[in-house]
Amino acid sequence: MIYLATANSPTIRQHMADGSLGMMTTPKDGRSPAHAQVWAADNGCFGKGYPGDEAYLAWLAKHSEHASRCLFATAPDVVGDADATLTRSAPFYAPIRALGYPVALVAQDGLTPDRVPWADIDALFIGGSTDWKLGAAARLLIAQAKARGLFVHVGRVNSHRRMRYAHFVGADSVDGTFLAFGPDTNLPKLRGWLRDIRDQATLLAVAK
C-alpha cells in the first residue's frame, strides 16, 4: 500500500524522497515532483482546483521528465457523475499517454464495469461520494480492474479503518488530507497504519 500525501512540510518531503511516502500533486498545489520517488498527478477537479484543459495538459508536459515515476495522471472528471465523467475524460486518454503518463479514469457514482473503457486506461481512481465508494458497485469495479492488471487508487482515505478497507478491497494506493493538519504529529500515526497493512499482507502471504 502506497500513501500519497501533499508535500506540505519538510518532514513529509523527506519521507517522499526516501520512498516511504508517495506524493500527490495538482496544478493548483504547484509543487514539483522532482524529489519524490513515487508520485501521482491529480487534475484538481475535486475541490475546484482544475485549471482548464489546455493548462492541465501544459502542467503535465512541464513535469513529463518525471513521468516514469508517476503512478497515474487522472483524466478530467465530474464529481459524483459517471456519465459526465466518461464524456469529459475520453478526449484526454491519448494526450496524457502521449506525454508518458499512465492514464487514470476517476470512477464516479453510477459507473459500472461494462461502461469503463478498459483498453484506454492504465489505472482506476475510486472517487465519488463516500457511500458509493464504500459500496458494492465500487468493489466490483476494483475487482474488475485488478483482474485486468490495472493499478487501483482510492481517494479520501483519512483513517486507519478506511485504509484497512481500501487494502482489503484491493487498492494499490490511497490518498487523503490526514497529514495536512498537524503533519509532524500525524505522520507517526500514519506510518503505524502502513506498518499494520504491511504486516497483514505478510501474514496472508505466509498463510498461502
How far apart, in whole angstroms, are the C-alpha atoms of residue 166 and residue 174? 8
Going by C-alpha positions, the residue among 126, 115, 109 that lies closest to residue 165 is 126
CA-to-CA distance for 47 and 122, rounded, in angstroms? 24
The rounded distance, in Å, linking the Cα atoms of 44 and 190 is: 24
**pLDDT on residue 24:** 98
Contacts 24+ apart (CB under 8 A), 178-185: 179/5, 179/6, 179/8, 179/9, 179/12, 180/6, 180/8, 183/8, 183/9, 183/11, 183/12, 184/9, 184/11
b/e map 167-183, b = 16+ CB within 10 Å:
bebebbbbbbebbeeeb
Read off the amino acid at residue 151: F
CA distance 167 to 205: 14
Backbone angles phi, psi at 2, to 5 degrees: -110, 130
Mean pLDDT for each consecutive 10-residue tract of the chain (208 residues)?
95 96 96 97 95 98 98 98 98 98 98 98 98 98 98 97 97 96 92 92 63
Instruction: At 186, list the grid cell.
Output: 500525524
